[in-house]
Amino acid sequence: MSVSFGQKKKVIKENKIRSITTWQADKNEKATEGFKLDNTLYDKQGRWIEKTEYKKDGSIDHKETLKYDAYDNVIEETVFDVKQSINKKNTYKFNANNDCIEENEYKSGVLFRKSVSSYNSSGKKVTEMVYDGQGNLLKKHVFTYNSKGLKETRKTYAKDGALESGRHIIYEYY
């Protein structure tokens, strides 16, 4: 979304901006004949909480909302897209270190997918378990890191434990 032409959170907060609306007028139209292109709502901390894109006829084309916890983590995200007839919601849970430990994806109000992540003592994600809406394991991702703490590998295992795919990242240093 190209909402707000990239206004920074700090600028939004300092100026106590509650919303930004963008109007579009094509070259053959007067500015007063234009249409609302998008609208973004902000909370008092300058975080966007709702973004809406409109069609030329004024109807909603795409809408997203966010909810935050006290630590600035996104804990809920909703998406409505008319083109794709999608009504989706994601919820997130975080540990005391603000690492995302659980993500739930809902489609039309029904749990579709759940991911549960674990972290090592350095705060690096080491596993991600992906389940379907009924709680059945779909796949498992295992991550390893090099001596500098940079991600080195990601291995994906199928629900039966068989290796499905792997990625190896190679870093070159100066």
Q: Which amino acid is at 76?
A: E
Handedness of CA 127, 130, 131, 133 (dihedral sign): positive
129, 137 Cβ separation under 8 angstroms: yes
At 66, the pLDDT band (50, 70, 90 cuts) reads very high
Handedness of CA 64, 67, 68, 74 (dihedral sign): negative
Q: What is the mean pLDDT of the chain?
A: 90
Mean of pLDDT values over 110-118: 97
Tens of pLDDT, residues 40-54: 999 999 999 999 999
Among 16-20, 28-32, 75-79, where is mean pLDDT lowest? 28-32
65, 59 Cβ separation under 8 angstroms: no
At 4, the pLDDT band (50, 70, 90 cuts) reads very low
Q: What number does CATH give the domain 91-174?
A: 2.40.128.720
> What predicted TM-score, i.e. pTM, was given to this entire model?
0.81
28, 45 Cβ separation under 8 angstroms: no
Each domain of the chain, given as residue ranges in start order, spans 1-68, 91-174
| Whole-angstrom distance, CA of residue 155 vs CA of residue 161 | 11
| Whole-angstrom distance, CA of residue 116 vs CA of residue 157 | 15
| pLDDT score of 1 more than 60 | no
Which of residues 85 and 143 earns the better pLDDT score?
143
